[in-house]
Amino acid sequence: MRQLKYVLTSGYMVGLRVEYPVIRTVEGKVVGMCLDADSPYLHAMVAAPEMLEALKVLCNFKRECPCEVSNEELAAWDKAYAAIGKAEGRVLP
């Protein structure tokens, strides 16, 4: 049986630094989160599958579009691709 530990982790949500409890194995792998009903992460976690699917669809539209885009728009697409990679457990360049 794996031993689990409860630790407080900090991060950012909507520009605010927040702390939330996570459950980790003794090796450090996160296996769960404990979120209060008023946690700013709660709604994001619930919506995550739909947000990921929407990002994938938008990124496919971008790939197929021959339009000219600004550097600011390219940076936003790069962030979208990076978010998809994180959600899928990959690290993108």
Q: Domain ranges in the chain?
A: 1-34, 47-88
pLDDT score, position 1: 45
What's the whole-number average pLDDT of the chain? Answer: 75
Kindly report, residue by residue over 10-42, the tens digit of the pLDDT: 666 556 676 667 777 777 777 777 777 777 667
Confidence of residue 44 (pLDDT cuts 50, 70, 90): confident
Whose structure tokens read 């003794």?
26
The three-state secondary structure class of 3 is coil
| pTM (2 d.p.) | 0.55
The three-state secondary structure class of 92 is coil
